Structure 1
Amino acid sequence: MDDLSSRRRRFRRHLLSSKGEEDYLSNLPDELLSHILSFLPTLDSIRTSVLARRWRHVWTSVPVIDFSYLQLKPTMIKRFFASRGDESASRLRLSGPSFDCDFNCESSMSRDTLVCTMVDYAKSHDARHVTLLRFFFQYLSDCFFDQLFDWPSLESLDMEVVGCKNRTLFNFSKSIVSFRLSNLKTLSLALGQNAIHDESLAKLLSACPVLEDLTLSAKFFRAAHRPIQIEAPNLLRLTLIPTPSKLQINCQKLEYLSLKSDANLTHLHIEAPSLISVRLYNIWRFRTFVQTLCDVTTVAITLSDKCLSDSTPRFLEKYKAAVQGLPIFHKLLELKIKMYVAEKFSLDIVFDLLRCTPNLQSLVLTECEKRPCDDEDFDKWEKNSSSRTNQPLEHLKRISMNIKSERIRSAFIETLSETVPAWDRVAVTC
């Protein structure tokens, strides 16, 4: 049988040679093949070993380990470790199911143990990037987090937790968990309905002296009298969705900030003198903060969300008043707006914002998904738009519009052209 297989392979190579064809992919160096396989899930990478003898051991040197949570089984992991040997691993990616599965306790505890084993293997083999997506962490103890957060060589960590609702998952104020993340530059924590304790967050941030990018999606558990504090000396990018009602940010190098508040803000203090780019949702909740943004060059705003589509006129007027009370942003060069164009007030607010941006160079309008535009409502907007007066937009160079209705696009461009002195020099893309 082996002789037959060997003869078939030789015959195939002979055919390729006679036709002037070569297997260029197999002729690539091992390092390049390993890099190519690093973009595949690990099981798919392993399957390439059956292609030919040339491919038999290539997968063992792939620096990326990528498994689904449901694929982890003791026998499979044992064979995987034995085959890889002491090869280093630069990245570990473990992902759970995209839906909520009802695992029994024994199954979940077994898989959580295997997760710990895989994380320990990656840590001992110099992995610098770890991604843990869509995990049910019911049965992981402080030992796992001590293993994960005591990792000096780690450069990026992306963790998404599902399940465990209404539980303060990250509360290490009285635990033995050690925090040593001296090389961590990127941290993303999505905890779903779970909360992170303010003292635990402070410990975590203090253990990351070179952290540059922080994304937090979680509830915040704190003492009633004190705000959540974000203090990181080298932080460049910060995303907080949702934003806690009491928040204090002290980041001297912060350049990008994204905030979305689902509740009234009772305390907001931001010390970020290097801030140049801001993304805001529910802008009326940040009215006082926006008035301090004198030096930003880029602003992205979601003008409205689903809750506004059925709001009362009184609330909409309050929303518009918040925008009309903004200062003049003399340094603002790029404005990105996401809106429901079916509401005429959204288009009104766009022009209210443009009044605040005399040096604007780039305008991006994106339409939110919504029911079809009400023609009668838009007719009223067109009639009132002629009385609108704006300061000339002398520096506008680019307009990008992702709006389905050609009528709305045309009407908006026509109205905007009244405030642009050199309209022929503006590049418009739709």
Structure 2
Amino acid sequence: MDYISNLPDAIISYILSFLSTKSAMKTCILSKRWQYVWTKVPALDITEMPHSRRYLSDEQQIHFKNFVNKVLLQNDVSCLQCFTLRTYSEYDYDCIESWLRAVEGREFSELNVKLHCPKTFYLPRQFLSGQKLVVLKLEGFMISNMGHSFHLPNLEIIHLVSILFDGDLFLKSLVLDCTALKELLIDGCYGFEETLYVESSTLESLEIKECAINRSNYVLPFIRIQTPNLRYLSLQDALANYNIGELKLLIEANLDLWDSEGYDEIEHHALQLIEKISGVKSLRLGRTDVVCCFEDAIPNFENLIELKLAADFVIHELLESTPKLKSLIIEEVDCVGENFYSKVAPGCMSSLEHVEIFLDKRHHIRLAEYILKVSTALKKMTIYLHPTTIKRGRAVYQSLLNLPRSSPICQVKVVHLD
């Protein structure tokens, strides 16, 4: 017996909402009774190439445009859970605008628009005044200021990727006016004149990636962050002048910052940044450029329990500043100097319980050996071996398992990476 066919259309529509619109239409061919059910699906996912990065031919683009026009004409659901439009080919402005105008009067909880649009694109203002909008994701086009006020009382998540702004005001106003905002991602955006502003009393998660330097290699004078409720901060960028307010609630930080050529006052700004995040419990340092410039003045991380980093010549100073460290993940072994092994072991080695270390050269095994030797409370060490290390033979694998250790309960696990 076909139980699915006996389900009400509303339930079938809900099930189909988890598929792309194209897949939902194909599924409805399976039953005559379902033939038009896709027109009532409360989600539209229109993606030009869901499984391919190849550009469409001219003929394929025409087919895609006809498909989109048909979908937007026949699906008339007034309240959508999600509207997604992703294109990789270059369509004319009028075409894209007509698609968005077709859903302008509807309510939706999530808006996801990714375009390849070389001209300034005016996102219909209706999209930035939705009472029910919770998630907003925009990628790949230019946005004008569109005025300086927005009404998005329920918006919690904003992702902005490869967006060209017309100055500083759009982003500043958008974030300030979203009184329920919890998560903000700004990735590869540019067009700021003086300052990238992020000011929000509700924001809990903030990620900024590659926005400090624009496409003319110009470093932004200021990145201003005033987010007193922040729990997670990720900065992956050239080091700039970060003007950061109090972060007393910050729990986790990810810093992958590098020194941009010719940048002045790097030491002062790097130290200010590190001091602001020194109360975190979890920290990842993708690069240690931000620390190297003031290695003699590293602040204490009194609450730090988990540290991820690349091991280089400042690793001893970093470990000395983390008295409560329990988990250490060494993502890469770079240039650990001889001084590291000759100095007194950092105090955190008496509290360290878990270590993961990625090794790609045989002589880096010395670091794993040292940690096992001085970590008296260690429970487990996982060693990840790069294929170039494994080629030396099974002797490497066996020698790692037999490394002497100070902790009687420590287990060593060796994982071969493909």
TM bucket normalised to smaller: 0.7 to 0.9
Please, which of 303, 325, 328 is the counterpart of residue 297 of structure 2?
Answer: 325
Please, which of 121, 129, 140 is the counterpart of residue 121 of structure 2?
Answer: 140
CA distance in 2, matches of 1:118, 1:157: 18
SS of residue in 2 equivalent to 1:393: helix
Counterpart residue number, 1:38: 17
Following TM superposition, by how much is the alpha carbon of 1:420 offset from its aligned partner in structure 2, in angstroms? 1.1
Counterpart residue number, 1:112: 96
1:167-220 deviation per Cα after TM superposition (whole angstroms, max 9, x unaligned): xx4442xx557521111111111235x245222222212221111111123125
User: Structure 1 residues 27, 247: CA separation in 2 closer, same or farther (over 3 Å shift)?
Assistant: same
Letter in 2 for 1:398: H
Q: How does 1:20-419 map to 2 (within 5 A)?
A: 33-69=12-48, 75-77=66-68, 79-81=70-72, 83-86=74-77, 88-97=79-88, 101=89, 103=90, 107-120=91-104, 124-136=105-117, 138=119, 140-141=121-122, 144-162=123-141, 169-172=142-145, 175-176=146-147, 179-192=150-163, 194-217=164-187, 218-223=189-194, 227-241=195-209, 242-243=211-212, 244-262=220-238, 265-266=240-241, 268-282=243-257, 285=266, 286-303=270-287, 320-337=292-309, 339=310, 346-367=311-332, 385-389=340-344, 390-401=346-357, 403-405=358-360, 407=362, 410-419=365-374
CA distance in 1, matches of 2:182, 2:62: 33
1:118-155 deviation per Cα after TM superposition (whole angstroms, max 9, x unaligned): 441xxx332110111243162533xx342321222211
Counterpart residue number, 1:11: none
Following TM superposition, by how much is the alpha carbon of 1:362 offset from its aligned partner in structure 2, in angstroms? 1.7
1:206-248 deviation per Cα after TM superposition (whole angstroms, max 9, x unaligned): 221111111123125235xxx4432111011111222444122
User: Structure 1 residues 277, 139: CA separation in 2 closer, same or farther (over 3 Å shift)?
Assistant: closer
- How many aligned positions are there? 354
Letter in 1 for 2:331: T
Counterpart residue number, 2:383: none
CA distance in 2, matches of 1:392, 1:267: 30
| Contiguous gaps of at least 5 residues in structure 2 | 49-60, 213-219, 260-265, 380-408
1:26-54 deviation per Cα after TM superposition (whole angstroms, max 9, x unaligned): 56665554444333221121011211235
Letter in 2 for 1:92: F
CA distance in 2, matches of 1:115, 1:359: 55
Following TM superposition, by how much is the alpha carbon of 1:272 offset from its aligned partner in structure 2, in angstroms? 2.3
| Contiguous gaps of at least 5 residues in structure 1 | 1-21, 163-168, 305-315, 340-345, 368-372
Contact 1:134 1:161 in 2 (8 A): yes
Between Structure 1 and Structure 2, whose CA radius of gyration is higher? Answer: 1
Following TM superposition, by how much is the alpha carbon of 1:388 offset from its aligned partner in structure 2, in angstroms? 3.4
CA distance in 2, matches of 1:386, 1:113: 63
User: Structure 1 residues 328, 387: CA separation in 2 closer, same or farther (over 3 Å shift)?
Assistant: same
Following TM superposition, by how much is the alpha carbon of 1:111 offset from its aligned partner in structure 2, in angstroms? 2.3
Contact 2:168 2:192 in 1 (8 A): yes
User: Structure 1 residues 48, 300: CA separation in 2 closer, same or farther (over 3 Å shift)?
Assistant: same
- Structure with the higher fraction of residues in helix conformation: 1
CA distance in 2, matches of 1:96, 1:78: 14
CA distance in 1, matches of 2:118, 2:28: 34
Following TM superposition, by how much is the alpha carbon of 1:283 offset from its aligned partner in structure 2, in angstroms? 6.1
Following TM superposition, by how much is the alpha carbon of 1:410 offset from its aligned partner in structure 2, in angstroms? 3.5
Q: TM-score, normalised by structure 2?
A: 0.73
1:148-169 deviation per Cα after TM superposition (whole angstroms, max 9, x unaligned): 212222111010115xxxxxx4
Letter in 2 for 1:210: A
Q: TM-score, normalised by structure 1?
A: 0.71
